[in-house]
Structure 1
């Protein structure tokens, strides 16, 4: 869908990195520490924590298309994004007052409903901006990783030295600032298609797309579910809240340089081989955590997240757009987000909570490892199809 950007390229180059830093700072301040908060401050069980933490991804599957239709109807993606940011900030602040499990479920569902609009609409606006004015999505998205890393460390330190509910205050404040900044993002004369279902049938007829959906379900599910359980893992290894923040700082902070390098590595090795390598690193990391190694060793291994996640996110997003027909690319990105970030995360988070209740945290990471290596098999299938297409004179 063709759109017209109303602001100059130089304005976007300054605004997008800061905007991504703010929204992911908000996410980093809350979500990695939320499971620990629910366990230690509210006293919930592993199954209850898993249920609450899995609400967000499963809600995304059903609510995200509605945000897309609203965006298409109003033709004001920046306005919709601003409203979603402010609503998410308000509900996040209300989260800090809830202690009853039933109310926590309700608030978590409401929070997920409005939050699910933020990243898809932001990515759609940013991707179109990059296409129109040049640049790299990875160079923009890396600021989100930096913000996330800084937030977990700051949030962990503040929670250790003051009160745990400070994570909700940081979350809300940063989203309010991001909402004011969002209003200055490049305006568009038509809607960004953030989640409609047009073209789904055509996409589902593409074997490589189906395999990619399976791969993202199995690979990104554990990566994002790790944000819910990594804090508990560190605590069981006798870590502190500040230590949790440090671990996430090392992990998320190491993503930025690899995101910056993605374009060059794709040209050298190809997208799917690079994705396979990054996923294999993730799978080995989860397998090592099954043995619950010493805490110092865990801190050392967190930096490999930069390689695994920092490469996987931009590679997968670019490959989705490359294999989808031009007129259904927005729908393809929406499905990719719903399956990998939504359904896969819900599945791994929910099953992880059950495993945590009946076994131990190491078993959760064994489950993550098995899922990841199964996902690699789907990527190998794509690689084989690419080779067949090239041999038949088609582009892979």
Structure 2
């Protein structure tokens, strides 16, 4: 995903095209997560749902190798994104089920995703330099294939709830001020990520950095993120979900301000990347902890799905579309990141009215 903008740019698309395409395909994350979660809840087969998502993602993304038109790529990548939404929520549910919701153990397991991300962003940047901007697609296909093979060796955890309980209504959990404020905050946070996810690699290239250097810049944030995941569980227990989220999202606002104001300063650029430990690492760990506690065993898959659909689906689409509209081949980069900073600041403000106690226990 960090190199999608570079890949699309190499296919001849403008920044407006890239923003529109990424916005449209991100919309597929609205319907997909809930559809897969419902399937997982009704069947009780989280692992089988994960494996099916891997296979369908692999099959659809492979079509990118032969499709070159705007709407063709939009359809193919959009379908891949929709199918891939079966993967992460089910991994999260399987993990939290196996560790009985222990946030300390969760962080230590989740850090391996960050390690994989570090290795792949650096490697992909090197491959772009050595070969072409088509490299991210080939590497992603290989990763999806290995992910499917790896999933074959996993075991389905013992089902802790009866399948008929999955039919229970979830709306009494959703329509509360606590969850709605959390959801709005998560949505605005993902809106703020639009310029970064869609254009950071292009931004770095325009600033004169090579593909390998860009890979290292992306990896820097994830390297410190690994350390955050190690300590996240203990920090969440001591400080509580609310204040961890407020602090982390506030630092995200500061991060985008640094990218807007000092893009040519390599030291401040590295600092801004290191803040990814809070922008993603700590916010993700705290959010997953909150959802696990808030929805409990019965609604966990659908709770994850609603979170991903609204935050990453709607929020991501709005962020990508807005960034693409403002970017203007790099001329609007500064304004775009300033607006991202404002969006993140508003996301932190949304959490202030919530009681810390209400974010630590289920209603």
TM-score by length of 2: 0.90
Alignment partner of 1:353 is 2:313: no
Displacement of 1:365 in angstroms is 0.9
Q: In 1, distance between residues paired with 2:188 and 2:316?
A: 9
Aligned to 2:292: 321
Q: Is the 8 A contact 1:138 1:262 kept in 2?
A: yes
Give unpaired runs (5+ residues) of structure 1.
Answer: 1-30
Aligned to 1:374: 346
Q: Is the 8 A contact 1:286 1:366 kept in 2?
A: yes
Displacement of 1:312 in angstroms is 0.8
Aligned to 1:11: none
Alignment of 1:145-164 (within 5 A): 145-164=114-133
Displacement of 1:73 in angstroms is 4.3
Select 1:286's aligned residue among 251, 256, 259.
256
Q: In 2, distance between residues paired with 1:330 and 1:240?
A: 41
Q: Deviations over 1:282-338 (max 9, x none)?
A: 100101211242151313431121133221110111122323465434332221121
Alignment partner of 1:258 is 2:240: no
Residues 154 and 379 of structure 1, relative CA distance in 2, 3 Å threshold? same
Q: Deviations over 1:151-192 (max 9, x none)?
A: 111001111012221211111112111111101112145499
Q: In 2, distance between residues paired with 1:287 and 1:133?
A: 35
How many residues matched? 357
Alignment of 1:290-305 (within 5 A): 290-297=260-267, 298-305=269-276
Alignment partner of 1:67 is 2:39: no
Displacement of 1:134 in angstroms is 9.0
The RMSD of aligned alpha carbons is 2.6
Residues 272 and 135 of structure 1, relative CA distance in 2, 3 Å threshold? closer
Select 1:81's aligned residue among 27, 50, 64.
50
Q: Is the 8 A contact 1:63 1:116 kept in 2?
A: yes
Q: Is the 8 A contact 1:225 1:348 kept in 2?
A: yes
Residues 214 and 144 of structure 1, relative CA distance in 2, 3 Å threshold? same
